[in-house]
Amino acid sequence: MRRAAGEPDLLYVDLHLVHEVTSPQAFEGLRLAKRRVRRPDLTLATMDHNVPTNDEPPEPISAKQIEAMASNAREFGIRCFPMGSPDQGIVHVISPQLGLTQPGMTIVCGDSHTSTHGALGALAWGIGTSEIEHVLATQTIAQTKPGTMAVTVDGALPADCAAKDVILAIISRIGTAGGTGKVIEYRGSTIRALGMEGRLTISNMSIEAGARAGLVGPDDITFAWLEGRPYAPKGPLWERALDDWRSLATDPDARFDREVGIDASQLRPYVTWGTNPAQSVTIEDRVPEPDALPAEARESARRALAYQDLRPGTLVRDISVDAVFIGSCSNARLDDLRAAAEVLQGRRVKPGMRALAVPGSMRVKADAERLGLDRVFIDAGFEWRDAGCSMCLGMNPDILRPGERCASTSNRNFEGRQGPGGRTHLVSPAVAAATAVAGHFALPSDLR
């Protein structure tokens, strides 16, 4: 929007997504300075991070934050999908689903997984609370120009691998800081062949590789997915938008600051063993020996193994699991629930296993129920919940107990992420479901 020498560019924000946890201090800042929200009509709020996903009322401290979100939205004239609304859900699930996320838009949110929206060809990234206040007041954000990185994934993905395995493979290759300062463009035949929901999973975890944002060039799959959604352009505007979006594709001979290639045909389902998302192996492997890793990775591997209570050399399939969480903005869309339900159909989770299925939005939940997926989860012994972040970050009562080990479809396996002392292993929805049945890490084909 504005460019001046010696200053970062000032970018206009086409959509600002707001949730209850990172925004209260920003609204308070506006009030203190007697400022208004410049464009309430380009701002959408919801409640996701600390809402309960069962019938219990929110605990008192969370309730305060939930109430603050509702009253801030009222005071500043912002549309909010509160708890109980059929449109409520995880912010990164609802916006694409409503068709608010569109190619070429700039989207920010006080949440690092805003990169999710890049799957539709939007430039989307996470910001902090001071920046939220700035965007609320000015609808703009200052950004230095990011570097560029191409991750090209080619080849046919094996049938038991999912988008989650692709992104875990990418992060394991480039590392947790591999994308720092850069925007990653995911390219190649594998990405092109993925549906929109799989692309959302991949873009979602760009931040786990340290990238500022991640995106996929929009194509016919993007357009078909968007068409007819509540906020997608209609009639002649749709045609004009389409013309514009088709012009967004990256030049075939574009140069990137860094390029990485991945052969999808060689992938296997991934399981993280450590406490950052780059510390992973395939399900066919063993927990690594820290001394066999590159020198700079050894110390954090040792610390991670101690925290995770794992012995080097253990077969991943021999690690037993206490809890399974199918949810989060990584993997709680309809395709994800369907993939898990396919595995769970006619099966039961291992006795003693705690198993939670938490749809990404109330719309996803309703869609899943129309397909009867809720019955499959419930009959298998899963709890079937309302939408929210839930056990992805343990701000509501859904937390791991200290020492509990969880196979999770979320995106972060940091120490204590799912509850103090909890141990997280990131996996795809199909592996999570098979693991719930087997009681240890397993593929669907391992069952029976």
Partner 1 sequence: MQAVRRIAGRALPLARADVDTDQIIPSYWLKRLERTGYAAGLFEAWRRDPAFVLNDDRYRGASILLAGANFGSGSSREHAVWALMEAGFRAVIAPRVADIFRNNALRNGLVPVELDSATVTRLVDAVRADPSTEIAVDVERRTVEAGIVRASFTLDDFSRTRLLEGLDDIALTSKHDRDIAAYEAKRAEWLPVVTGSQRRL
**Site of interaction with ligand SF4 (CB under 6 A):** 48-49, 90, 92, 111, 113, 328-329, 389, 392-393, 410-411
- Nearer of residues 97 and 190 to partner 1, judged by Cβ: 97
- By CB under 8 A, tell whether 25 contacts partner 1: yes
Question: What is residue 102's three-state secondary structure?
Answer: coil
- Taking CB under 8 A as the rule, which mask of x and - marks residues 235-254 in contact with partner 1? --xx-xx--x----------
Least distance from ligand SF4 to the Cβ atom of residue 288, Å: 26
- Nearer of residues 180 and 189 to partner 1, judged by Cβ: 180
Among 57, 71, 74, 177, binds partner 1 (CB under 8 A): 177
d(CA 37, CA 40): 6
Interaction residues for partner 1, span 296-355 (CB under 8 A) = 296, 299-300, 303
- Nearer of residues 51 and 135 to ligand SF4, judged by Cβ: 51
Least distance from ligand SF4 to the Cβ atom of residue 246, Å: 31
**Location of structure tokens 């996701």:** 48
Least distance from ligand SF4 to the Cβ atom of residue 111, Å: 5
Least distance from partner 1 to the Cβ atom of residue 191, Å: 23
Using CB distances below 5 to 8 A depending on partner kind, what does residue 286 bind out of partner 1, ligand SF4, none? none
Identify any residues that bridge with 270 across adjacent strands, giving them in sequence order. 282
- Nearer of residues 89 and 444 to ligand SF4, judged by Cβ: 89
Query: What separation in angstroms does the CA of 434 have from each of 202, 370, 448?
Result: 22, 23, 11
Using CB distances below 5 to 8 A depending on partner kind, what does residue 69 bind out of ligand SF4, partner 1, none? none
Please enumerate, as own/partner, the contacts of 412-420 that have beta carbons within 8 Å and a separation of 24 or more.
412/208, 412/277, 413/272, 413/274, 413/275, 413/276, 413/277, 413/279, 414/275, 414/276, 415/275, 415/307, 417/392, 417/393, 418/325, 418/391, 418/392, 418/393, 418/394, 419/391, 419/394
Among 52, 53, 91, 131, binds partner 1 (CB under 8 A): 131
- By CB under 8 A, tell whether 24 contacts partner 1: yes
Among 47, 83, 91, 105, binds partner 1 (CB under 8 A): 105
Q: What is the DSSP letter of 215?
A: E
Using CB distances below 5 to 8 A depending on partner kind, what does residue 320 bind out of partner 1, ligand SF4, none? none
Interaction residues for partner 1, span 34-73 (CB under 8 A) = 35, 38-44, 49-50, 61-62, 64-65, 68
Interaction residues for partner 1, span 391-410 (CB under 8 A) = 393-395
d(CA 165, CA 280): 10
Question: What is residue 310's three-state secondary structure?
Answer: coil
d(CA 91, CA 68): 17
Q: How much of the chain is in helix, strand and coil states, percent to nearest 5?
A: 40, 20, 45
Using CB distances below 5 to 8 A depending on partner kind, what does residue 219 bind out of partner 1, ligand SF4, none? none
d(CA 289, CA 82): 47
- By CB under 8 A, tell whether 148 contacts partner 1: no
Using CB distances below 5 to 8 A depending on partner kind, what does residue 329 bind out of ligand SF4, partner 1, none? ligand SF4
Using CB distances below 5 to 8 A depending on partner kind, what does residue 328 bind out of partner 1, ligand SF4, none? ligand SF4
- Taking CB under 8 A as the rule, which mask of x and - marks residues 268-297 in contact with partner 1? --------x-------------------x-
- Nearer of residues 103 and 126 to ligand SF4, judged by Cβ: 126
Q: Are strands 270-272 and 280-282 parallel, antiparallel or unpaired?
A: antiparallel
Using CB distances below 5 to 8 A depending on partner kind, what does residue 72 bind out of partner 1, ligand SF4, none? none
Residue 286 CB-density burial (10 A; 0-12 exposed, 13-18 middle, 19+ buried) = middle
Among 82, 155, 181, 312, binds partner 1 (CB under 8 A): 181
Using CB distances below 5 to 8 A depending on partner kind, what does residue 368 bind out of ligand SF4, partner 1, none? none
- By CB under 8 A, tell whether 79 contacts partner 1: yes
- By CB under 8 A, tell whether 126 contacts partner 1: yes
Contact indicator for 20, 50 with CB cutoff of 8 Å:
yes
d(CA 22, CA 163): 29
Query: What separation in angstroms does the CA of 327 have from each of 8, 100, 153, 275, 387?
Result: 37, 22, 25, 19, 9
Identify any residues that bridge with 263 across adjacent strands, giving them in sequence order. 154
Using CB distances below 5 to 8 A depending on partner kind, what does residue 285 bind out of ligand SF4, partner 1, none? none
- Nearer of residues 413 and 435 to ligand SF4, judged by Cβ: 413
Dihedral of alpha carbons 221, 223, 226, 228, sign: negative
Question: What is residue 325's three-state secondary structure?
Answer: strand
d(CA 208, CA 294): 20
Least distance from ligand SF4 to the Cβ atom of residue 411, Å: 5
d(CA 356, CA 325): 5
